Amino acid sequence: MEMPTAPPRWPRPPACLPHDQLDVPPNGARISVAGLVLVRQRPGTAKGVIFITLEDETGISNVIVWRKMYEKFRRAVISGRALKVTGRVQRESGVTHVIAEQIEDISWMLDDLIRPGKVRAAYQP
């Protein structure tokens, strides 16, 4: 009988914190997270602020993109299916957010998920 194989791990960009470890760095620490874009929200009452929810294999991250950062990284924010976000950890009322300082479209990395063997071989724990 063939043993089931573990699902491939997503090839997270170097130095990105898995979402389930966002409680580790202190409030205000500069970190990077990466993941699939689940939701983009731009409420009319938020004065140009965009809220993005990212997901990796460990959980989700809430990202706040202020208007100035949106203008600078507009293309990635609008069209990216997967993003790498570098910013500051903010904890308030038991909720953790990443305040975006840099946003990179890493949608090209999703192709590695459909290449059997490559991801597992390159990123074994």
pTM for the structure as a whole: 0.82
pLDDT at 26: 95
Flag whether pLDDT at 115 surpasses 90: no
- Residue 107 within a domain: yes
Number of domains comprising the chain: 1
DSSP strand pairing (30-41 vs 82-92) = antiparallel
Each residue of 75-114: pLDDT tens digit? 999 999 999 999 999 999 889 999 999 999 999 888 776 6
Domain span at residue 109 reads 19-122
84 close to 67: Cβ distance less than 8 angstroms: no
Q: Is residue 11 part of a domain?
A: no
In a domain, 10, yes or no: no
